[in-house]
Amino acid sequence: MRHILSLLMENESGALSRVAGLFSARAYNIESLTVAPTEDATLSRMTIVTRGSTDVIEQITKQLNKLIDVVKVQDLTDGSHIERELMLVKVRATGDQREEMKRLADIFRGRILDVSDKTYTIELTGPGSKLDAFLHAVEPSTILETVRTGASGIGRGDRIMKI
Amino acid sequence: MADLELTGAEIVVSCLRDEGVKHLFGYPGGAVLNIYDEIYKQHDFKHILVRHEQAAVHAADAYSRSTGEVGVAIVTSGPGATNAVTGIATAYMDSIPMVVISGQVPTPAIGQDAFQEVDMVGITRPCVKHNFLVRDVRDLAVTIKKAFYIAASGRPGPVVVDIPKDVTQHRCVYEYPKSVSMRSYNPTSKGHAGQIKKAAQMLLEAKRPMIYTGGGVILGNAAARVTELIRLLGYPTTSTLMGLGGYPSPDPLFLGMLGMHGTIEANMAMQHCDVLLAVGARFDDRVIGNPKHFAKEARRIIHIDVDPSSISKRVRVDIPIVGDVVQVLDEVIRLVQADSVKPDAEALNAWWAQIELWRAQDCLKYDRSASVIKPQFVIEKLYEVTQGDAYVTSDVGQHQMWAAQYYQFDKPRRWINSGGLGTMGFGLPAAMGVQMAHPEAMVACVTGEGSIQMNIQELSTCKEWNLPIKVVLLNNGYLGMVRQWQQFFYEERYAESYMNSLPDFVKLAEAYGHVGITIDKPEDVEPALRDAFGKYKDRLVFLNFLTDPRENVFPMIPAGKGLSEMILL
Ligand SMILES: Cc1ncc(C[n+]2csc(CCOP(=O)(O)OP(=O)(O)O)c2C)c(N)n1
């Protein structure tokens, strides 16, 4: 099962390596990991996407909680939540393809951020599956470069993670 | 007048003083010279100069194991720091509270591949409870305070404080914080009342109960409580290697150690019980063997531990209780006493009858008529001669298992060994740490000729401090435990397990200024031990027992097998 874990942790140097090291040392899987300071500069918020059985996820959560720098851990997939990821994708856009590519970007509510005579750079946000869908919709040979942030997540409504 | 400013080095020494540290084990070098200069000037604690940094850390570790206090070691940057890593990992695996101070190159040089630079925080990250790099002298005192607090609270563990040399020169006002609070670290201490109530009921309903205690009982100072509960219920009890002494071994309710080299009665009762109470233990692979095999029999499990991540890690449990073991057991005892339900005497009698049948197989028997010295016999005599009152440290191998099986520990903190990491070379430095903490006590280091040579240089430290340790070398001429596995599982292909060209241990001991004795006949075992603890009471005595080279440790559960799949003599 895919799980999205949200962490609040001390914004200390080395905190990221403790989390990354935990996952590699215990052979847990990381699909993506994003981190940045919060509105309170002493805290960072991290989102980790991982896969594992219920037992494994329980262990991951406990082990994360055990890290001294980690203030809070929440499994977003335990309740309703929103997940977003940002992707920048550079595609070949020449001749007929230019119109076609623009239309496709529109359908996916993408924005063209940069244009050259041979390329478009498109920004897309959404759940990971939507970004995957876009990449599948495009002729593979036209994709020149992609970069993705990994998922960020937040609980819906009153579900708030704060200290 | 402005408050007096101290240098970082003065602050380190002041912190140790204010923390009440009495013994510091260490080895100097460039990055810690400022600190050593302050150590030189003070009289609040003793510094014990070892001969290798690994030994400093093991000594500090065993100091802690035998006293319950936080052990403290100091090493220089680079090679000093890397030499300390085995010791730190050893303490980490056994959850020993320890603070290790390491020197670091000056902050501007960090990352420049400077002389004797190593990323200590990076190297030790997977084997510490936490670590710190102190970049600013103003953070020094509070960091050291946090280090002691983290090391000793919750599930204990080693904490490294890495201090760049320039930080030891910079100045600031010193104040040692009285306490620290950390929003990100609040170890649980109080067990859940509802869970404790369910646990008490489940214990009283048991038909085939079993109590299984581990190192957490020793670390949590819960031996008296565990003993009270076991006596109150009259239930059979076993212990892990790390928990020995948590309940008095000679007592009939105690079935001996369980696990890979556990007794038949302990392993079978563990496998066939219907209610299992696990206290401060973690169901590791050397204890329950294969978890699938363990799960074949249905049983309900209550698990008390201070660390939530130890619970339901390898084995699913029915009643998890996270909390301080003493506090939780106090509650359990109170509820069991108050309950009108009493243990089912009839069921319990039947269960004990079964256990006695297992016990009657006498799985720790060995050939007592042999003309060669049997290693088990040496340990039995050690127990007799010391009247069970010694601190026994050990290295790793067959001798370790024999010490665990045949020395009847009846008090906590007396059995000091590297259970989790299994570090050969632990025994002698550990004995130093114990003897420093308990100058009047009998301290024996049970070892093998492989293990002792991994830190034998410490005989020199022992001389300097006149530590009257008794080294009990069970010299079988082999890396015995390796040889045993090769005999059983590799068709007797003894690859590199024969210890050729051994030194003359008697001369070696004498060269270091100690007493050395070689014993090669069973009838000389006891007199030699009596001399060691009598005539040579105040000397380090190196007892070189030439033991049966082919002796094996029984029972044995092969790796990956289940608790009822023991190999017997
Ligand atoms: C540092 C280290 N290296 C290797 C091992 C693997 N090992 C475990 S037991 C053992 C043999 C120990 O031999 P010895 O100290 O002579 O004790 P004996 O088994 O003969 O009693 C070895 C090599 C270890 N535990 N620690």
> Sorting pLDDT into bands at 50, 70 and 90, what band is B440?
very high
Contact assessment for residue B502 and residue B477, using Cβ atoms and an 8 Å cutoff: yes
Spatial distance between the Cα atoms of B345 and B330, rounded to a whole number of angstroms: 24
Contact assessment for residue B372 and residue B414, using Cβ atoms and an 8 Å cutoff: no
* B444 and B338 share one domain: no
pLDDT in tens, B92-115: 999 999 999 999 999 999 999 999
Domain A82-152 class? alpha beta
| Residue B185, both tokens | 């670290």
Give the distance from CA B309 to its chain's centroid. Answer: 20
- When pLDDT is averaged across residues A92-106 and rounded to a whole number, the result is 93
Residue B206 has what pLDDT?
98
pLDDT in tens, B9-67: 999 999 999 999 999 999 999 999 999 999 999 999 999 999 999 999 999 999 999 99
> Sorting pLDDT into bands at 50, 70 and 90, what band is B500?
confident
pLDDT in tens, B290-317: 999 999 999 999 999 999 999 989 999 9
Is B555 part of a structural domain of the chain?
no
Active site residue B561: no
**Is A62's Cβ below 8 Å from some Cβ in B?**
yes
B9 vs B12, B13, B99, B552, CA distance in Å?
5, 7, 16, 52
- When pLDDT is averaged across residues A5-28 and rounded to a whole number, the result is 95
What is the Cα Rg of chain B in Å? Answer: 24
Residue B223 has what pLDDT?
98
pLDDT in tens, B446-478: 999 999 999 999 999 999 999 999 999 999 999
> Within a 10 A sphere around the Cβ of A112, how many other Cβ atoms?
15
Q: First and final CA of chain A: distance in angstroms?
A: 28
Q: Is the CB of B85 under 6 A from ligand 1?
A: no
Chain A positions touching B184 (Cβ under 8 A) are 9-10, 68-71
Residue B359 has what pLDDT?
98
Per the model's pLDDT, the better-predicted residue between B312 and B536 turns out to be B536
* B381 and B408 share one domain: yes
| Residue B367, both tokens | 């050939």
Query: B222 CA to middle of ligand 1, Å?
Result: 31
Residue B2 has what pLDDT?
58
DSSP A1-31: -EEEEEEEEE--TTHHHHHHHHHHHTT---S
* B120 and B221 share one domain: no
* B348 and B379 share one domain: no
* B264 and B292 share one domain: yes
Q: Is the CB of B427 under 6 A from ligand 1?
A: no
Active site residue B116: yes
- When pLDDT is averaged across residues A43-71 and rounded to a whole number, the result is 96
Spatial distance between the Cα atoms of B123 and B78, rounded to a whole number of angstroms: 11
pLDDT in tens, B109-139: 999 999 999 999 999 999 999 999 999 999 9
Q: What domain range includes position B502?
A: 375-546
Residue B434 has what pLDDT?
98
Residue B1 has what pLDDT?
46
Is B565 part of a structural domain of the chain?
no
Spatial distance between the Cα atoms of B148 and B159, rounded to a whole number of angstroms: 8
Is B561 part of a structural domain of the chain?
no
Contact B308 A71 (CB under 8 A): no
Is B502 part of a structural domain of the chain?
yes
Distance from CA of B478 to the nearest CA of A (A): 34
Q: Is the CB of B423 under 6 A from ligand 1?
A: yes
ipTM associated with this complex: 0.93
* B515 and B379 share one domain: yes
Domain positions in chain A: 2-79, 82-152
Which atom of ligand 1 is found nearest the CA of B452?
A: 15
**Is A17's Cβ below 8 Å from some Cβ in B?**
yes
Lowest-pLDDT range of B216-220, B368-372, B525-529: B368-372
Nearest-CA residue for ligand 1 atom 11 is B479
Distance from CA of B312 to the nearest CA of A (A): 8
**Is A21's Cβ below 8 Å from some Cβ in B?**
yes
A150 vs A50, A85, A101, B277, B333, CA distance in Å?
11, 6, 24, 44, 51
3-state secondary structure B103-150: EECCHHHCCCCCCCCCCHHHHHHHHCCEEEECCCHHHHHHHHHHHHHH
Is B403 part of a structural domain of the chain?
yes
Candidate from B122, B133, B184 with C-beta closest to A69: B184
Candidate from B122, B184, B309 with C-beta closest to A63: B309
> Within a 10 A sphere around the Cβ of B160, how many other Cβ atoms?
29
Domain count along chain B = 3
pLDDT in tens, B169-213: 999 999 999 999 999 999 878 999 999 999 999 999 999 999 999
* B107 and B158 share one domain: yes
Is B476 part of a structural domain of the chain?
yes
- When pLDDT is averaged across residues B242-264 and rounded to a whole number, the result is 97
* B344 and B484 share one domain: no
Q: Percentage of chain B surpassing pLDDT 90?
A: 97
Q: Is the CB of B479 under 6 A from ligand 1?
A: yes
Distance from CA of A56 to the nearest CA of B (A): 9
Spatial distance between the Cα atoms of B162 and B128, rounded to a whole number of angstroms: 13
User: Where are the alpha helices (H) located in A83-140, listed in sequence order?
Assistant: 97-107, 128-137
* B166 and B214 share one domain: no
pLDDT in tens, A109-128: 999 999 999 999 999 999 99
* B245 and B331 share one domain: yes
CATH number, domain with residue B520? 3.40.50.970
Q: How crowded is the C-beta side of B177, counted as CA atoms within 13 Å?
A: 15
Residue A85 phi, psi dihedral angles, 5° rounding: -140, 150
Minimal-distance CA residue of chain B relative to A18: B125
Active site residue B481: yes
Q: Do A2-79 and A82-152 agree at the fold level?
A: yes
* B350 and B385 share one domain: no
User: Where are the alpha helices (H) located in B180-324, listed in sequence order?
Assistant: 193-205, 215-219, 223-233, 264-272, 285-288, 291-294
Q: Is the CB of B448 under 6 A from ligand 1?
A: yes
Is B258 part of a structural domain of the chain?
yes
**Is A63's Cβ below 8 Å from some Cβ in B?**
yes
What's the whole-number average pLDDT of chain B?
97
Q: What is the pTM of this model?
A: 0.96
B427 vs A14, B39, B62, B68, B87, CA distance in Å?
34, 27, 9, 18, 12
- When pLDDT is averaged across residues A63-78 and rounded to a whole number, the result is 96
Q: Work out the angle at residue B251's Cα, subtended by the Cα atoms of residues B249 and B253, and round it to the nearest 5 degrees.
A: 105
Nearest-CA residue for ligand 1 atom 2 is B424
Which of these is catalytic: B10, B38, B53, B458?
A: B53
Chain B positions touching A25 (Cβ under 8 A) are 126
Nearest-CA residue for ligand 1 atom 13 is B479
* B164 and B236 share one domain: no
Could you tell me the CATH superfamily of domain A2-79? ACT domain (3.30.70.260)
